[in-house]
Amino acid sequence: MRATNTITVALTGASGLPYGLRLIDCLLAAGRRVWVLYSQAAQVVAKQEMDLTLPSRPAEFERWLAEHHQPADGQLKVFGREEWFAPVASGSNPADAMVVCPCSMGTLAAIALGTSDNLIERAADVSIKEGRKLILVPRETPLSAIHLEHMLKLARLGVVILPPSPGFYTHPQSVADMVDFVVARLLDQLGIEHQLLPRWGE
């Protein structure tokens, strides 16, 4: 598996922001460089789900993340939704992998259609065209035929569709345990070692 040294994490307006923030935490702890993108809707969800007020300015959000995660110099960078000179906007300097977590159905549809109206959609488009790993974490239920058709189209292009479906065979004792189950599956897809949960049969 290709080494994933730089990972783009995009936070959108679907429910499930704790998954995305925990993933950023684990990636930084694993020594990976992380580029963060986020939508205005993600800020709304953060307030609703976690009572967090995420800064609107990328530089302020970057400082907020740095205070909570203590990354090394140059390890963390947050980009604005229309920051078209960001590395992720070009196939000449893409991340090794990208995870949209959580992924709203609107973002998923835009990625499937290749609209690239903002930096999240463009970064995903770049990941696909450059053959880099792209993982989408769609959080919606029930799923309509439109949602499923978009997912099938992307899966046929090699995009990983990873719904946040925690298993219960690990006997989770808290919401944090259930979040870690999903994040562990994401880290597995990225080829990053972790100790978030026991392996099946071990």
Binding-site residues for FMN sit at 13-15, 39, 104-107, 139
List all residues 6 or more positions away from 82 whose beta carbon is below 8 Å from its beta carbon: 118, 119
Could you list the residues known to form a binding site for dimethylallyl phosphate, using ranges: 169, 185
Q: What is the H or E stretch that residue 133 is in?
A: strand 133-138
**Exposed (0-12), middle (13-18) or buried (19+): which is 128, by Cβ within 10 Å?**
middle
Q: Please, are residues 86 and 50 in contact by the beta-carbon 8 Å criterion?
A: no
Burial of 198 (0-12, 13-18, 19+ CB in 10 A): exposed
Write out the two tokens for 99.
């995870």
